[in-house]
Chain A
């Protein structure tokens, strides 16, 4: 079946540190991959996405590359800020025709301290 596995949190970093949050997936076919972010008290927001192998999604300094050979979509940022503190969810859509039906990982909480 289809599934997403994320590294457990919390991830605790100092401001300006380098961030990596690991995400691996299991899927048949050619899924689309996503990172969503959930700030305290808010709904999920799309951070970035990639729809085919070797695509790189990027937004707000965050990047993730769709690696089919390792079935991974790791999230990275070169220099985190306190405002990046949130819960990050990796997700996949098994179908390229309906990307609203998402399978999420369990989420990774990021805490950034000044």
Chain B
């Protein structure tokens, strides 16, 4: 089991609402990446935070936003939820901004259902 914890584990929202997902990174890690995993698909990179700054973004609209706090925990916010946002959201942490020598540790994810 990794030291990456995500909350909540499950969430149900309705279309148009806003949601905040939380992630605590593994101790000593300063980099957090977020991924979206739709049912039956591989995870897709949303964005990464390194030392509280966004450090790269995938092909997701601006209504997907994030924050990283001084303790390196992170939030993913999604506004104006759409049905297609239903997915497992994965948080992953590592040290040193994703250096090749670092290992990426994933949390168990938050399952979001949009009705």
Contacts and interface: CB of A to CB of B under 8 A. Distances in A.
A68 interface: no
Interface in A64-114: 89, 91, 96-107
A18 to B, nearest CB: 25
A99 B99 contact: yes
A32 interface: yes
Range, interface on chain A: 20 to 34
A46 B92 contact: no
Contacts of B86: none
What is the interface of chain B mostly: helix, strand, loop, or mixed?
Answer: loop
Interface of B: 1-2, 4, 31, 33, 35, 40-45, 48, 55-56, 58, 90, 92, 94, 97-100, 102-104, 106-109
26 contacts: A4-B42, A32-B100, A43-B2, A43-B106, A43-B107, A43-B109, A44-B43, A44-B90, A45-B2, A51-B100, A89-B43, A96-B100, A97-B99, A97-B100, A98-B48, A98-B55, A99-B102, A100-B48, A100-B97, A101-B45, A101-B98, A103-B45, A104-B44, A105-B42, A106-B41, A106-B42
